[in-house]
Amino acid sequence: RKAIERDELMLHYQPRISLESFAPVGLEALVRWQHGTLGRVPPSDFIPVAESTGLIRPVGDWILRAACRQARAWQTDGEAVGRVAVNVSAQQLCWTGFTQSVDDALATVGLAGDRLEVEVTESSLVHDVQLAAANLEALRERGIQIAIDDFGTGFSSLKLLRQLPLDAVKIDLSFVREIEAHPEAREIVRTIIAMGHNLGMRVVAEGVENANQRDFLAEHGCDEIQGYLFSPPLPPDELIAWFHDPERPGRQGQAAR
pTM value is 0.90
pLDDT at 159 over 50: yes
pLDDT band at 100 (very low <50, low <70, confident <90, very high): very high
pLDDT digits (tens, 9 = 90+) for 15-68: 999 999 999 999 999 998 876 666 676 777 667 777 777 778 888 999 999 999
| pLDDT (0 to 100) of residue 227 | 96
pLDDT at 256 over 50: no
Find all residues with CB under 8 Å of 129, minimum gap 6, and list them.
Answer: 160, 163, 164
Residue 5 vs residues 8, 37, 82, 183: alpha-carbon distances, Å:
8, 15, 30, 48
Q: Does domain 2-235 have CATH number 3.20.20.450?
A: yes
Q: Which of 31, 1, 32, 27 is nearest to 14 (CA)?
A: 27
pLDDT at 73 over 70: yes
Beta bridge partners of 29: 13
pLDDT at 1 over 60: no
pLDDT, mean of residues 127-133 = 83
pLDDT digits (tens, 9 = 90+) for 191-221: 999 999 999 999 999 999 999 999 999 999 9
| pLDDT (0 to 100) of residue 107 | 98
